[in-house]
Structures are given as structure tokens and as C-alpha cells.
Amino acid sequence: MSDSPESNEEVEKESEKPQESKPDQEEEKKAKFTFKCTRCDKCCASRGPIPLTFWDVEMWAKNGVLLNFMPYMELYQNPSGSIDLILKPIPVAKEGVDQQSPAADPFSTTPIEDLLEEKCPLYNANEKKCLIYDNRPLSCRTYPLEYDGKNFTVVDVDCPGIGQEGMTKEELQEMRDTAKLMFSELSRIRINIPVLHQIIQKDVMMALIRQNKEAMEKLSEEDKKKIDEIFQKSHDHDHSHDYDHPSE
């Protein structure tokens, strides 16, 4: 028995309908992120300042290695205005520059902006070895993958480890979880550091004031008199300078 015209039209209409893509097919269309560290030392040798979190500090304290990191930890106000706790690289001595020059300022420091491509202070370039691998910060554990609260991004597309085969689903999930943890912890420390910084500054200033007061109280009457004379001479000199140059 032949098909009716109505049934033929229905078949044609069905054939014209676009086929819905299956989830697996859509997933295949997306670029698949795979990563395996090749130990090329690129990120360690020219990483620059490494952002730290409370998670890192707590881990180091728990493992008894916090003092090893203290010489390299520093507060840095980044261009966005946030205050970060960082591992500050040690600048490599330049050829022809005398690092032991007596004229050099002992309190001078190298600006962070001049250290953006210096090696991590805890990386041995000669042996191509991380000296703290088991205690490395979150930022190193998740590199080159980052999370911004909504999306994952690759911050170093030239990293040789990207595209390397052999990454399991479990390893990928762990890397994503670490990137999310880094984002959360970085947000937490950026909220708390400015508050702690203000409290510490206030306490330091109060301690200095107390020390000065106690030192003045211990001075003999003769020393106090000499200090008063010095201040009086300075005051008289400032006033005489004002009379020599009266305002017009």
C-alpha cells in the first residue's frame, strides 16, 4: 500500500529539521586543555614576584619551614591598588656594577617593576631545581592555569607543558580545584592585608613613641638642658631666616 501525501510531507519535514548536537559532540568541538610540566624551568627562571596567600603561610608554619621564606617575603602595592604579599626575587648582579660600593645606599631596594623577569629566589638555576617543591605556593601549583571567579584562563600560552598528552581527568580536576582555591585565597588575603597593615603600622608608631618617651625620661638634667638648647638654636635660626625673607 502506497504512503499517503500527508505521510510523505511529514517525512520531508522531519528530514529538514536540524539534528540536535549531542553533549559529547559539543565537548569535542571545544579546545581540550591538557598539561604536563616538562621541568623546562621557564616559569621558575623568569617568573618575577610570586603572589602568596594565607594558605601558603599556614602550610609553611605547619611544616616548620616558615623561617626559610621570611627573608624573601614582602608587601607590595600593585598597580590596581591592592596590597599583595609576595615572594620577592633577588636581582642578579649586573656586569660592571660594583655591588659592594661604599657609596651605595644600604637601605635602598630594587623596585618590583625591575624584577618582573627575575628568577624565583628559591629556585636553583644551576641545578634547575626548585628548593621548596613540596612546599611550593598555590600560585606555582596551579600555573599556568588561573581562575577569575567565572572562567579558567591560561596565563602563559607559550608554556611547553600545554598540550602535552597524559593528563588524566583526575589531574585536570585537581588543577582546576587548585586554581579556584588560589582565586579564593588571593581574594581573602587582599581583603585582610590592608587592615592588618594599618594595625601593625599604628602599633609600630606607638612603640616608637613609647621608646622615645622612656629614653627622654632616663636622660640626666644636664643632657635634657643640652637638648633644649639645640632645639632653641634651631628654632631661633628658623625665625631669623623668616625675617631675612619676609613674605611680599
| Nine-digit cell string for 158 | 607559550
Query: Domain segments of the chain: what residues?
Result: 32-94+103-200, 207-244
Strands 73-77 and 129-130: unpaired
- Tell me the sheet residues that pair with 145: 154
Decide: 178 and 138 in contact? Cβ < 8 Å: yes
Dihedral sign for Cα atoms in the order 115, 121, 127, 133: negative
Longest dimension (CA), the chain: 129
| pLDDT tens, the chain, 248 aa long | 445 544 444 434 444 444 554 555 444 445 578 999 888 888 898 888 999 999 999 999 999 999 999 999 998 887 777 889 999 987 766 555 454 544 455 455 677 777 878 889 999 988 888 999 999 999 999 999 999 999 999 999 899 999 988 899 999 999 999 999 999 999 999 999 888 878 877 777 787 777 777 777 777 777 777 777 776 776 666 555 555 555 54
Q: What is the pLDDT of residue 181?
A: 97
What residues contact 142, with CB distance under 8 A and at least 6 apart? 175, 178, 179, 181, 182
Which of 57, 37, 52, 63 lies closest to 88 in space, CA to CA?
52
* Model pLDDT, residue 10: 47
* Ramachandran class of 193: left when φ > 0, alpha when ψ lies in -120 to 50, beta otherwise: alpha
What residues pair up with 130 in beta bridges, in sequence order? Answer: 123
Q: Is the pTM of this model over 0.75?
A: no
Residue 166 backbone zone (phi > 0: left; psi -120 to 50: alpha; other: beta): left
* In the block, residue with C-alpha cell 572562567: 151
